[in-house]
Amino acid sequence: MERIPFAYTLTDIRYEEISPGPDRSGEGGPIDGLPQGERPTGQAQARRASAGAELWVVTGGTGSVHCGETAWPLARGRLLLGPLGGVRAVSAGPAAEAGRPDAAAGAGGAEAAEAEMSEAERREAAEAERKAAGRSGPAAERGEAAEAERKAAGRSGPAAERGEAAGMSATEAAMSLPQLQAAGAEPLTLYRLAFCAADRSGAPLPPGEALPFVGATDFAPFSFCAERAQKLHERRGETGGAAALERQIAFQELLLAAVRQRESASRAGTGGSAALDVREAVRRSIARIDREYREPFTVESLAASAGIGRWTYTNLFKEATGSLPLDYLNRVRIGQAKQLLLATEDRLGEIAQRVGFSSEYYFSRRFKREAGLSPGQYRRLHRREVRVFAPYLEDALLALGIVPIAQYSHSAWGVQAYLPLEGVPAFDVADGTREDLLRLKPELLLFDDGFERWRLDRLSGVAPSLLLEQPGEAWADKLRGTAALFGREAEARHRLRRYDEEVRDAGSRLAAMPGGSASRGSVACLRISAQQIRLYAQHSGYTGPLLYGELGLKPPGLLRHMPEAQRSLLLRPDELAQVDADHLFVIFDKSDNRHPGDERRLLEHPCWRTLPAVQAGRVYETDFFAWMNYGILAHGRKIRDVLETLL
């Protein structure tokens, strides 16, 4: 059965600087700065010693590493993952420019060393390596083979002993090691992070089974890798459990980033070595923000990490997300803060720091700009039922399962009878006073774009108030925005899915009529008051997008020539003849009445009686509020009215 890596443990950190000439410098060492009792011993120590797996982060210069017949070119921005334990640096001779070591030039190349070994010696060394990796033989045999491998690789004993273990001379043993070379004028600099892997049982895995991939891959944004590797190296000697845990977590993040980069490059067909497309670099940058939102990003640093100019980066970022980079970053941070506000009792300052804000004051300002509430208000609203008054937004509240403490009312139109608000007190938006509302003890006032029309600023101070910025026609966005305020996003998604299903079902039923929905003729919607006749447009307004767009009904000829942005058309009685619709949905508006019934006077006008729909008896009176509303419940009522009349 295949053993899957379950735990990766960082065991060594080194910084190497390989000069193109004979000089070489390097520093680093194993993470043994821990107290004696915390250092790995026994099986853990043996696992570390035999791991031989390393992740390299190349930070400068160019060069190559040769393992047998395999060679990988190295350059800044490249990661290398493989069984690289025991790789030794050599001075660069003429062969360095050729891209591989050459024994004849004095560099001691791996291929030359291998050529000097006999076939029997190669088989013996390979068998020792397989046994040391745990692929054959009992435990005792694997231990002997591992010791032979360590001796052959130069991990113990003098040079003569290493040569004897591998059946080679000391010179041959040294030359057989994988070799690292610098090329060009600049030194090759890199961080080498050694690690080991274990399966779920804790048993060590040999490098061949431990590595998620073997080979080199380019990385963007590379600054992430360089910063992580540098921090690991700088803090390698810090002691204590927290320091050790931080090092392991930082290594895990770096290894995960390398694997993600490789898989993404493979899917894109780049093999990990071709230059990344700028749009892909921006997508990676967005993913990085999602993961590392706590980091102190700037537009300049993000653009530089992606290898793109600031102007190009900003434009591509906005194209991908609809937001500027820092606006997107703050939105991600606020989203994380919302979760912490509800899941913890942490103070605001602590939450601000945890999500990446350096200032509690700025965090609070930004939170209110993004969420419409202060952090404290958001926490209180989401932890219990809130007493809210939201005139003409009751449709959205009820769809989310929230019952308001008062409902919209108007002296001419009454209340929204299509909504189940029996027993909920009515508040007249035209004539109601602050005192009337205060008696109901609201905790939140929620308004939309009708705020100014009804002079609702007169209610300021009664309770904290919020203004939803989404326009009425963007009713689905308004529903989502309302849901976000109250933590009801799941309810909003459920309602919208049900609505989509209702629309599809209604459209299918209408299309299934003999000849399709068009066979029923054209459909128009009129709003009639004592002073006005208003024909609603095809592409916008309360009814057009639903009737003609989602349900696929046929508009009358007059609508087909109206501009798309026009919501309605005012008509005189003598212009009614132009409304040649086969079906009329009529909404009567009482707002202009001086006497009861004034809104119906048009029905006695001779021009009305000449309309085709009137003569055919296909005029349908509908509920005023249900049809003059953008709410999801109102749209559902419109759909049911259409099906009941046309089918």
Report the CATH number that the domain containing residue 307 is assigned in CATH: 1.10.10.60
Please check whether residues 549 and 472 belong to one and the same domain. no
Write out the two tokens for 359: 């200032």
Q: 96 lies in a domain?
A: yes
Tell which of 144, 159, 175 closes a domain: 175
pLDDT value at position 404? 95
pLDDT value at position 74? 81
Which residues of the chain, if any, have pLDDT below 50? 1-2, 23-40, 42, 44-51, 91-122, 125, 128-129, 131-176, 270-275
Q: 207 lies in a domain?
A: yes
The percentage of residues in the chain with a pLDDT greater than 90, rounded to a whole number, is 37
Tell which of 487, 514, 538 closes a domain: 487
pLDDT value at position 526? 97
pLDDT value at position 261? 72
Please check whether residues 196 and 62 belong to one and the same domain. yes
Question: How many domains is the chain built from?
Answer: 5
Q: State residue 8 phi and psi, 5-degree precision.
A: -110, 135
Q: 497 lies in a domain?
A: no
Burial string for 521-545 (b: 16+ CB within 10 Å, else e) reads: bbbbbbbbbbebbbbbbbbbbbbbb
pLDDT value at position 625? 94
pLDDT value at position 268? 56
Please check whether residues 515 and 640 belong to one and the same domain. yes
Domain span at residue 457 reads: 385-487
Please check whether residues 377 and 390 belong to one and the same domain. no
Q: State residue 632 phi and psi, 5-degree precision.
A: -65, -35
Q: 268 lies in a domain?
A: no
DSSP 322: S
Please check whether residues 325 and 297 belong to one and the same domain. yes
pLDDT value at position 351? 94
The whole-angstrom separation of Cα 358 and Cα 376 is 18
Tell which of 228, 261, 294 closes a domain: 261
What's the pTM value of the predicted model, to 2 decimals? 0.51
The CATH number of whichever domain residue 575 belongs to comes to: 3.40.50.1980
Please check whether residues 147 and 12 belong to one and the same domain. no
The whole-angstrom separation of Cα 61 and Cα 37 is 40
Please check whether residues 299 and 340 belong to one and the same domain. yes
Query: Scanning the structure block, which residue is given the tokens 């493989």?
Result: 82
The whole-angstrom separation of Cα 173 and Cα 166 is 7
pLDDT value at position 265? 64
Write out the two tokens for 154: 């130069």
Report in angstroms the alpha-carbon separations of 543 from 401, 523, 539, 547, 586: 25, 11, 9, 6, 12
The whole-angstrom separation of Cα 354 and Cα 349 is 9
